[in-house]
């Protein structure tokens, strides 16, 4: 029994020691240019800030309506999160319950801005609609 365990362990060491590093990934077929595999496999856990928006004075307004479990339409997601991740302050206006859901939605998706809620009964006769105001840090300075 001990001999079999030793054989399995030695075999595992041989296979792991003999394996080579993965080949670099080529940018296109036949290209002599390669890139570091670590650049492709690296996982980034934060959203980069836009250099222009970081230094500009701006504000923006978007309206969202929650339909089923979707907080934004597909064509609103990129723009909405681009603004949210580059904002320093966000104000969500809408029914308090749905406004809190939107606040949680932004926070769960790594938005670091200060988020405030301004509750109203409804927007455009809908309790599922919110008006979201995005502000830059420079806009807040006046």
Contact call for residues 134 and 61 (beta carbons, < 8 A): yes
- What number of CA atoms fall less than 13 Å from residue 31's CA on the CB side? 9
The reported pLDDT for the residue numbered 53 is 86
Q: What is the mean pLDDT of each run of 10 residues along the chain (142 residues)?
A: 67 62 62 64 71 89 96 94 95 97 96 96 93 84 54
Q: Which two tokens stand for residue 64?
A: 């969202």
Q: Which two tokens stand for residue 121?
A: 């009964």
Contact call for residues 65 and 129 (beta carbons, < 8 A): yes
Please report which helix (H) or strand (E) contains residue 103, including its range: helix 96-108
Domains identified in the chain and CATH numbers:
2-41 (no CATH), 51-141 (3.30.1330)
The reported pLDDT for the residue numbered 52 is 87
The reported pLDDT for the residue numbered 55 is 86
Q: How far apart are CA 122 and CA 66, in angstroms?
A: 13
The reported pLDDT for the residue numbered 84 is 95
């Amino acid at each position: 029994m001990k001999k079999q365990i030793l054989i399995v362990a030695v075999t595992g060491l041989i296979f792991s020691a003999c394996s080579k590093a993965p080949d670099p990934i080529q940018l296109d077929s036949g290209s002599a240019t390669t890139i570091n595999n670590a650049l492709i496999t690296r996982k980034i856990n934060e959203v980069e800030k836009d250099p222009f928006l970081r230094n500009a004075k701006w504000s923006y307004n978007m309206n969202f309506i929650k339909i089923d479990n979707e907080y934004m339409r597909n064509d609103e997601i990129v723009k909405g999160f681009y603004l949210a991740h580059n904002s320093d302050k966000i104000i969500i206006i809408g029914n308090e319950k749905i406004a809190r859901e939107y606040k949680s939605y932004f926070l769960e998706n790594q938005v670091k801005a200060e988020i405030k809620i301004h509750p109203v009964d409804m927007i455009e006769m809908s309790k599922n609609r919110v008006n979201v105001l995005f502000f830059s840090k420079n806009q807040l300075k006046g």
